[in-house]
Amino acid sequence: MTANSKTADALFLGIDTGGTYTDAVLWSQAGGVAAKAKSLTTRHDLAVGISGAVEAVMERTGVDPSAIKLVSMSTTLATNALVEGQGGRVALVMIGFGPGDVARDGLDKALGGDPVLFCEGGHDVHGNAKPLDLAALSEALPDLAKSVSGFAVCAYFATRNPSHELAAAELIRDRTGLPVTASHELSSKLGGPRRALTTLLNARLISMIDRLVAATGGFLERRGISAPLMVVRGDGALVSAAFARRRPIETILSGPAASLVGARHMTGLDDAVVSDIGGTTTDVAVLDGGRPRLDPEGATVGGFRTMVEAVAMRTFGLGGDSEVRLEEGGLDPNLLLGPRRLVPLSLAGVGHADVVTAQLERQLRAPNPGRMDGRFAVRTGVPDRLAAGLTAPEQRLYDAIGTVPLPLDGLLASNAQNATLNRLVMRGLIHICGFTPSDAAHVLGRQANWNRATAVLGAQLFARRRDGRGRPIAETPEALSERVLVALTRASAEVILETAFAEDGLDGAGTVAHALVQRAVDGRSGIARLTVALDRPVIGLGASAPLHYAGLPPLVGNRCVVPEDTDVANALGAVVGQVRVSAEAVVSQPKEGLFRLATSGAPRDFPSEERAMQEAELFVRGLAAERAGAAGTDTAEIELSRELKVSTIEGQRMFIEARIVAVAAGRPRIAQ
């Protein structure tokens, strides 16, 4: 058997850890999908959900663990954390910046209540250093070490000289032992506040991705699967697990990127709008010529524009587990969905049926509907160390909540406590359970994997809520549930059209909200007949896509293709992709006749442009090859590109700056 035939027959294991489900698929190049399975994502111990899905596919195929030659995973955990405003408490260290810089690029909003320190230092555009003073950092470290889970360090023009970031990182590691992210490790682009934002988010996500990789690696070792472990990055490329642990920010949009790769593989469509509906989010992107469009400005997730190169994916807080809310005011209030994810009552009723049922029935016996009816709080199960830095009210409320759902009407005594609870939810420490579209699907018999009885009780409670005339908003739990599912399909059409308008250069949200577009989508006739239609089909992905996207075509004016293996598109996309990494360097001219090469190390000077460019190309080629090896491929092909900035003054060519980029791509190495 040749090496190529061995590769074709080799079994690859794809895993996708989503907010609600963990998927697994066994695939080979020769035979396609051999088996697929789902298991509930267990946030308190991710290994439980992973093992449940993987054991199921292995049992269905009877495969020997040694036959699996590669394991690759995608995840929406990082994306969901940013959308829901969750993550560890992080200290941001700004070197050479002032308090005014925090107000730029959404950095102040991203910081929330996390601490920020300012130190003197940084560099100029050519990498020349200013005096560094880390006294403020040194003084604050003993207290910070007790209240944060990690640090983010960003220095002025660190992309041209990272020495001050490296000095601060070394000090932090020596004194605290906590993880540190330095901005120059993540991006070579200019724009300090946005680089600081990206670094802050990376530091917040480290513990989450660490737990995911450790859980997966631990399970594979116990199961006797010794294949390399890869992770899907936000641009759809694969990288080694060790690479992803250092740079978890690059896994934002990992799941959606994998779904795009899977969508193209399953349908063969080169041009499409891909909409992937999960439990927490709907992710929409565009395929052009068989490749996903990338966002040149950096991925935007949870309202934050990062410096992470990723698919041009728009992520909306809309999914099967979205919170169902009633619009405030109005005679006929609309049902609103998301953006927050709740644990569905039907899911809470799987592990705690007696408690949840008894409390819902108690609330139904009350003569009037209560504001907190059908709502419970329960711990997420993350390690206690991640609860560091809670205020006294937060700690008291956290201590009162355990692993069994508690009804909010018995837990909260004031609006202040409600705000405290929301802060615990944002920290990822507490889940809220409540009525969701998944519950509505259970009520109507269109989903049957959880506890229908608790879903029906939740629907009865919600249906009792009053409209502006004082009447119940629905006559029956079934009528309410039908309204919820119609609202989800309608909202899905809106996010798909919003993405299409934005890709066309329009204000996506504003255009979709316009009365004329709303009228066209609803098909309301008038003297002027309006229509809106996509120029390409929609590929519907996600386990619930066949249900929620059945009514989509008339709303978007084109067909919707739902592939056979749509429920495991992410897991499949995780194993059919390839490793792709890049490296870059900048050559500038600080003064006439001196050419400075800025890389991830100390700047180097050369007497001629040609020599500096040669050294830059050697450097980025070598670094790209090194990163490709670390990312998990031994067969990378490297392509070089140059971006020159020159001017002509009185007929003389004047060199300004050059950016040299090397891209290395290849299939991941597999176990021999």
Rounded percentage of the chain residues whose pLDDT exceeds 70: 98
pLDDT of residue 328: 82
What integer pLDDT is reported at residue 3 of this predicted model?
40
Q: Which residue has the tokens 């590109």?
A: 641
Give me the pLDDT at residue 8, please: 56
How far apart, in whole angstroms, are the C-alpha atoms of residue 195 and residue 106?
11
The residues facing 645 across adjacent strands are 657
85, pLDDT greater than 70: no
Is 520's pLDDT higher than 90?
Answer: yes
CATH number of 578-666: 3.30.110
As a whole number, the mean pLDDT across the chain is 89
pLDDT in tens, 249-280: 888 778 778 888 899 989 999 999 999 898 88
| CB of 41 closer than 8 Å to CB of 51 | no
Ranking 67-81, 162-176, 268-282, 453-467 by mean pLDDT, the lowest is 67-81
Is the distance from CB of 477 to CB of 463 less than 8 angstroms? Answer: yes
Does the pLDDT value for residue 86 go beyond 80? Answer: no
- Cα 153 to chain centroid distance, Å, stands at 22
The CA distance from 31 to 620, in Å, is: 38
Question: Given pLDDT bands bounded at 50, 70 and 90, which one contains residue 117?
Answer: very high
Over residues 643-664, the pLDDT tens digits come to 999 888 888 888 988 999 999 9
Stronger pLDDT, 529 or 322, i.e. the higher one: 322
Q: What is the pLDDT of residue 169?
A: 92
Which of the listed ranges 69-78, 244-253, 292-301, 402-411 does the model predict with the highest average pLDDT?
402-411
**C-alpha span between 297 and 295 (Å, rounded):** 5
Mean pLDDT over 324-341 rounds to: 88
Residues ≥6 apart with Cβ < 8 Å to 662: 582, 583, 584, 617, 620, 621, 623, 624, 638, 639, 640
pLDDT single digits (tens) 496-507: 999 999 999 999
pLDDT over 80 (residue 329)? no
User: pTM of whole model > 0.75?
Assistant: no
Compute the average pLDDT of residues 573-595: 88
Radius of gyration for the chain, computed over Cα atoms and rounded to the nearest angstrom: 26
Residue 661: which H helix or E strand, with range?
A: strand 652-666
Is the predicted pLDDT of residue 481 greater than 90, yes or no?
yes
pLDDT band of 5, cuts 50, 70, 90: very low
Percentage of the residues of the chain whose pLDDT score is greater than 90: 51
Q: Do residues 552 and 540 touch, judged by C-beta distance below 8 A?
A: yes
Q: CATH topology for 87-208?
A: Rossmann fold (3.40.50)
pLDDT-derived band at 315 (thresholds 50, 70, 90) equals confident
CA distances in angstroms from 489 to 19, 47, 88, listed in the order given: 20, 33, 34
Structure tokens at 322: 């979205």
Instruction: Supply the pLDDT for residue 84.
Output: 66
Question: How large is the average pLDDT for residues 231-244?
Answer: 87
What are phi and psi for residue 486, nearest 5 degrees?
-65, -40
CA–CA dist 552, 8 (Å, integer)? 38
What values do phi and psi take at 322, rounded to 5? -65, 145
At 23, the amino acid letter reads: D
The mean pLDDT of 199-228, rounded to a whole number, is: 86
Which segments of the chain belong to CATH 3.40.50?
87-208
CB contact at 8 A, 591 and 556: no
Span(s) in the chain for CATH 3.30.110:
578-666
- For residues 24-31, average pLDDT: 88
Helix, coil or strand: residue 394: helix
Specify the DSSP element, H or E, that contains 207: helix 192-223
- Does 6 score more than 70 pLDDT? no
Secondary structure tally for the chain: helices H, strands E: 23, 29
Burial class (CB in 10 A: 0-12, 13-18, 19+), 553: middle
pLDDT band at 210 (very low <50, low <70, confident <90, very high): confident
pLDDT category of residue 1 using cuts at 50, 70 and 90: very low
Q: Is pLDDT above 60 for 542?
A: yes
For every residue of 76-145, which 3-state class applies, written as one string?
A: CHHHHHHHCCCCCCEEEEEECCCHHHHHCCCHHHHHCCCCEEEEECCECCCCCECCCECHHHHHHHHHHH
